[in-house]
């Protein structure tokens, strides 16, 4: 599916609902500047939530290679954008992933694709962190996995407490990363 040209079922109904939302907000959805907005928003929402129709495990197994390498593999500074499920406002930042192979590796771009799949759903940062870690753990069965997510949340910047420079950091790990020394090595490498 090309997210910019192919859309999922329900697009017309979604656009109709956004037209109603514009009316409920006190706008005239028939005025020139808003006439095409309901469909634009419907298409944008389908793109921003395209992760629901994707299988992150399959992405990893499509590029699975037997390899006798058992040192840390790190893919850091993976940009992501997601929508907070509480206010449907964006949160965005960087994801850092490390895994220690146990006989199998995956294509490096596949780690970034896993991040994209889970971030393109209505999310909370904590769950997204866990989902990325669990997907890699269950699919690759490595000696260990660690995921760190650093993000800014528009729901904290635009509304509520309105704190512009706050960053939320979450992490999850398993296996070899249960050892403080291994976690510290990863943290040192991602902040170089």
pLDDT score, position 160:
86
Is there a contact between 179 and 187 (Cβ–Cβ < 8 Å)?
no
Residue 4: the pLDDT is 61
Cα–Cα distance, 71 to 83 (Å, whole number): 34
Beta strands in the chain (DSSP E): 64-66, 73-84, 90-100, 104-106, 122-123, 144-153, 168-175
From CA 66, how far away is CA 114, in angstroms rounded?
A: 20
Choose, from 84, 123, 135, 137, the residue flagged as catalytic.
Answer: 84
Using the structure block, give the residue that is written with the tokens 């129709």.
53
Tell me if residue 185 is catalytic. Answer: no
Known catalytic membership, residue 85? yes
Q: Is 84 part of the annotated catalytic residue set? A: yes
Task: Name the stretches of the chain with pLDDT < 70.
Answer: 1-5
- Is residue 96 flagged as an active site residue? no
The CA distance from 118 to 83, in Å, is 11
pLDDT tens-place string over residues 120-176: 999 999 999 999 999 999 999 999 999 999 999 999 888 888 888 899 999 999 999
**Of these residues, 20, 85, 179, 184, which one is catalytic?**
85
Q: Which residue is listed with tokens 């206010």?
A: 87
Question: DSSP class of residue 107?
Answer: -
Q: Which contacts (CB < 8 Å, 24+ apart) does range 149-152 have?
A: 149/80, 149/93, 149/94, 149/95, 149/96, 149/125, 150/93, 150/94, 150/96, 151/80, 151/91, 151/92, 151/93, 151/94, 151/125, 152/91, 152/92, 152/93
Catalytic residue among 134, 155, 174, 185: 155
Q: Would you state the pLDDT for residue 163?
A: 84
């Amino acid at each position: 599916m090309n997210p910019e040209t192919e859309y999922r079922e329900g697009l017309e109904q979604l656009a109709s609902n956004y037209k109603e939302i514009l009316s409920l907000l006190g706008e005239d959805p028939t005025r020139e500047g808003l006439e095409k907005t309901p469909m634009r928003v419907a298409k944008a929402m389908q793109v921003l939530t395209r992760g629901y129709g994707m299988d992150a495990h399959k992405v990893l197994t499509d590029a699975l290679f037997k390899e006798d390498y058992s040192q840390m593999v790190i893919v850091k500074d993976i940009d992501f954008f997601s929508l907070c499920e509480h206010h449907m406002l964006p949160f965005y930042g960087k994801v850092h992933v490390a895994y220690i192979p146990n006989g199998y590796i995956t294509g490096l771009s596949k780690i970034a694709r896993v991040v994209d799949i889970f971030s393109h759903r209505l999310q909370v940062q904590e769950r997204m962190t866990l989902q990325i870690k669990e997907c890699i753990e269950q699919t690759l069965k490595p000696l260990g996995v660690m995921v760190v997510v650093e993000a800014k949340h528009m729901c904290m910047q635009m509304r509520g407490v309105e704190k512009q420079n706050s960053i939320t950091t979450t992490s999850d790990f398993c296996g070899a990363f249960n050892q403080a020394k291994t976690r510290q090595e990863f943290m040192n490498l991602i902040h170089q």
